[in-house]
Structure 1
Amino acid sequence: MLEAIIDQLGDSTVMMLVGLVIGLVFGAAAQHSRFCLRAAIVETAGRKLGAKLALWLLAFSAAVMFVQAAIFFEYLDVSDARQLSATGSMSGAIVGGLMFGIGMILARGCASRLLVLSATGNLRAMVTGLILTLVAQASLRGFMAPVRETVGGLWLVDGGEARNLLHVFSLGHGLAALISLAVLGFAIWLAKQKSVRLTHGIGAVLVGFAVSLGWVLTYQVAQVSFEPISVQSVSFTGPSTDTLMALVNEREIVFTFGLGLVPGVFLGSGLMALATGEFEIQRFGPETKMERYFLGAFLMGFGSMLAGGCAVGAGVTGGAVFAITAWVAIFSMWMGGLLTQWLVDRSSMA
């Protein structure tokens, strides 16, 4: 069936449609569940295990469990995915992760959260997200690319087994799925203890499921396509820059997974906000200083390109396939975010 669809529509169109479907699911689920790494970090900085942390753990552990189960049952093979096969940067994961974590606190949201909030009428998130995207593009191919390449080249790790955390610790995919299932069980228990709404919890799990579905569907397309197809899943910084450049710099748009993903997330979040009565225009004000958001956007834009992705792209999507650089990046994001929130709390009490 998939081969027939590809023959009729073409590889690029099918990949764009796959991205659109994944984006719709992710956007709607992320908006309804309030899935947000920054919110989880702020809560944890207050020395408590609360609802926001439970929601993040639900999404993260669900993504890992579904992906590892799919690999175990041979529905997925991620050995050729760039997160594992290409040379990775440990220095980039550390420095970029720290920068992203700091910026995420200052801008009150990561790259994915800013995109989701933009669709709900939050103009602060929309402007901040655009600046993040422009900085990311400048870091990837513009005047900041040499700095990124220099920092990223300080500590490299070879692709293949050296970059696969499961191989480093001699763990199988089945065991990884069981461990993540146990973490998911803890997250469900914590969500119940903190009176998380059932629909919010389901939404968080669907966020993780969307990540795994992206991996599986792109792999299935790659298996039957005559053209080389990259096995990939949800990420935001790179696809957002590609989408922006395609819209403003190309006369003819080439369909890609990311070109379907970003509009899909925006549409899914917007439709969910309208359906639940949560659409509301929000602007900058005295309590939401523009310079703080812009500084955060700059740090996240450069940091995400250095770390190999955002809190979802590097953290959840890369973490689900146990890329060592992804786990280092998400740990660094947590550390940068916790330290920044501690400083923000301390300055507010002074």
Structure 2
Amino acid sequence: MIEGLLDQFGEGLVLATAGAVTGVLFGAMAQHSRFCLRAATVEVSEAVFGPRLAIWLIAFCAAVLAVQGAIAAGLLDVSGSRPLAATGSMSGAIIGGLMFGAGMILARGCSSRLLVLSATGNLRALITGLVLTLVAQASLRGVLSPLRENLAALWLIEGGQGRNIMSYLGLTSVLVAVLAAVGLCAAMALAVTREVKLTRAFAAAGVGVAVGLGWLLTYAVSQVSFEVVPVASVTFTGPSADTLMGLVNTSDLPLGFGVGLVPGVFIGAGGMALLTGEAKIARFGTDTPMERYLIGAVLMGFGSMLAGGCAVGAGMSGGSIFALTAWVALFCMWLGAMAVHIALLRFSDRASAVA
């Protein structure tokens, strides 16, 4: 079927459509579930294992279950994907992860959350997301790229087995899928005890399914295409930067999975917000200072490119295939976010005491 579509419409259009379908599912499910890594880290920072943590755990476990289940069933092979096969940077994962985590606290959302909120009419998220995208592009190919390359080169690891956590631990996809299913059930139970609506809990699982769908669709195209097609899944800073620069620099935007993904997420999130009556305009105010958001955007833009992905690209897509650098980056995102949130709380308490 896919081979026929490639013959009729071409590889670019098929990949863009696959990205759009994945994006619509991700956007709609992320909006309805309130999926947000920042919110989960805030709860843990305050020693509260609440609904936002439950939502994130459901999405993560569902992603691992979908991806590892597909691998176990022989439907997917991610061994040639960039997070596993290419040379990786541990220093980039650590430094970039810490920067990204700090930035998402200041900006009140990671790159995926900002895109989702932008679709609901949140102008704060829209402006912050645009700055994040520009900094990401500058970090990838512009004035900040030498700094990123130097930091990434501090500690490199070879691709292949050296980046595969499952090979280190001797785990099979079947076992990991079973463990992910157990974790998903536990996360669902936590959601129930925290009075999360069932529709939101199932939507969180849909976020994870979207990550699995992205891997499956790109892999399916790669198997029948005459060209080299990267096997990838949901990620935001890179595709957002490429899409924005493509729109600015050329009238003929090269089609690919990422080009369809970004508008697909926007459409899915916006459609869900309109359907549930949650679309509304939100602006900067005294309680939401613009400078704080912009600093967060800069940290996330540079940090995501240094870490090899954002909270979804590294944390969910890379995490679901057990890429070592992705797990290190995700862990450091948690550390950076929790540290900054605790620091802001203490600063606020001191300011209140002085006042």
Specify if TM > 0.5: yes
Instruction: State the partner residue of 1:41.
Output: 41
Instruction: State the partner residue of 2:133.
Output: 133
Matched residue count: 350
- Correspondence 1:206-245 to 2 at 5 A: 206-245=206-245
In structure 2, C-alpha distance between the alignment counterparts of 1:255 and 1:152, rounded to whole Å: 29
In structure 2, C-alpha distance between the alignment counterparts of 1:332 and 1:180, rounded to whole Å: 22
Instruction: State the partner residue of 2:314.
Output: 314
TM-score by length of 1: 0.99
- Correspondence 1:150-229 to 2 at 5 A: 150-229=150-229
In structure 2, C-alpha distance between the alignment counterparts of 1:303 and 1:178, rounded to whole Å: 33
In structure 1, C-alpha distance between the alignment counterparts of 2:3 and 2:142, rounded to whole Å: 39
SS at match of 2:302: helix
Counterpart amino acid of residue 239 in structure 1: P
| Structure 1 residue 76 displacement after superposition | 0.1
Counterpart amino acid of residue 130 in structure 2: L
Instruction: State the partner residue of 1:31.
Output: 31
| Structure 1 residue 242 displacement after superposition | 0.5
- Correspondence 1:289-300 to 2 at 5 A: 289-300=289-300
Instruction: State the partner residue of 2:353.
Output: none
In structure 1, C-alpha distance between the alignment counterparts of 2:138 and 2:4, rounded to whole Å: 40
Q: Deviations over 1:90-139 (max 9, x none)?
A: 00000000000000000000000000000000000000000000000000
| Structure 1 residue 227 displacement after superposition | 1.5
Matched, 1:303 2:334: no
In structure 2, C-alpha distance between the alignment counterparts of 1:232 and 1:65, rounded to whole Å: 17
Q: Deviations over 1:9-41 (max 9, x none)?
A: 011110000000000000000000000000001
Q: Deviations over 1:241-282 (max 9, x none)?
A: 000011111121111100000000001000111111111001
| Structure 1 residue 179 displacement after superposition | 1.3
In structure 2, C-alpha distance between the alignment counterparts of 1:348 and 1:200, rounded to whole Å: 32
Instruction: State the partner residue of 1:323.
Output: 323
Q: Deviations over 1:15-73 (max 9, x none)?
A: 00000000000000000000000000111111011000000000001001110010011
In structure 2, C-alpha distance between the alignment counterparts of 1:65 and 1:110, rounded to whole Å: 23
| Structure 1 residue 182 displacement after superposition | 1.4
TM-score by length of 2: 0.98
In structure 1, C-alpha distance between the alignment counterparts of 2:6 and 2:288, rounded to whole Å: 47
Matched, 1:91 2:103: no
| Structure 1 residue 329 displacement after superposition | 0.3
- Greater alpha carbon shift after TM alignment, 244-253 vs 97-106: 244-253
Counterpart amino acid of residue 121 in structure 1: G
- Greater alpha carbon shift after TM alignment, 297-306 vs 220-229: 220-229
Point out where structure 1 has 5 or more consecutive residues left out of the alignment. Answer: none
Misfit runs of 4+, over 2 Å: none
In structure 2, C-alpha distance between the alignment counterparts of 1:128 and 1:39, rounded to whole Å: 17
Counterpart amino acid of residue 85 in structure 1: A
Instruction: State the partner residue of 1:349.
Output: 349
In structure 2, C-alpha distance between the alignment counterparts of 1:205 and 1:22, rounded to whole Å: 14
In structure 1, C-alpha distance between the alignment counterparts of 2:11 and 2:76, rounded to whole Å: 19
| Structure 1 residue 3 displacement after superposition | 1.1
In structure 2, C-alpha distance between the alignment counterparts of 1:253 and 1:236, rounded to whole Å: 17
SS at match of 2:57: helix
| Structure 1 residue 198 displacement after superposition | 0.5
Counterpart amino acid of residue 75 in structure 2: Y
Percent of aligned positions with the same letter in both sequences? Answer: 59
- Correspondence 1:58-97 to 2 at 5 A: 58-97=58-97
Instruction: State the partner residue of 1:50.
Output: 50
In structure 2, C-alpha distance between the alignment counterparts of 1:325 and 1:178, rounded to whole Å: 23
SS at match of 2:312: helix
In structure 1, C-alpha distance between the alignment counterparts of 2:194 and 2:348, rounded to whole Å: 27
| Structure 1 residue 159 displacement after superposition | 0.2
Instruction: State the partner residue of 1:286.
Output: 286
Counterpart amino acid of residue 56 in structure 2: W
| Structure 1 residue 6 displacement after superposition | 1.1
Matched, 1:120 2:97: no
In structure 2, C-alpha distance between the alignment counterparts of 1:22 and 1:3, rounded to whole Å: 19
| Structure 1 residue 173 displacement after superposition | 0.8
- Greater alpha carbon shift after TM alignment, 255-264 vs 339-348: 339-348
In structure 2, C-alpha distance between the alignment counterparts of 1:253 and 1:184, rounded to whole Å: 39
In structure 2, C-alpha distance between the alignment counterparts of 1:224 and 1:89, rounded to whole Å: 31
In structure 1, C-alpha distance between the alignment counterparts of 2:328 and 2:179, rounded to whole Å: 19
SS at match of 2:133: helix
SS at match of 1:311: coil
In structure 2, C-alpha distance between the alignment counterparts of 1:81 and 1:50, rounded to whole Å: 34
| Structure 1 residue 178 displacement after superposition | 1.1
Instruction: State the partner residue of 2:264.
Output: 264
- Greater alpha carbon shift after TM alignment, 73-82 vs 221-230: 221-230
In structure 2, C-alpha distance between the alignment counterparts of 1:98 and 1:83, rounded to whole Å: 19
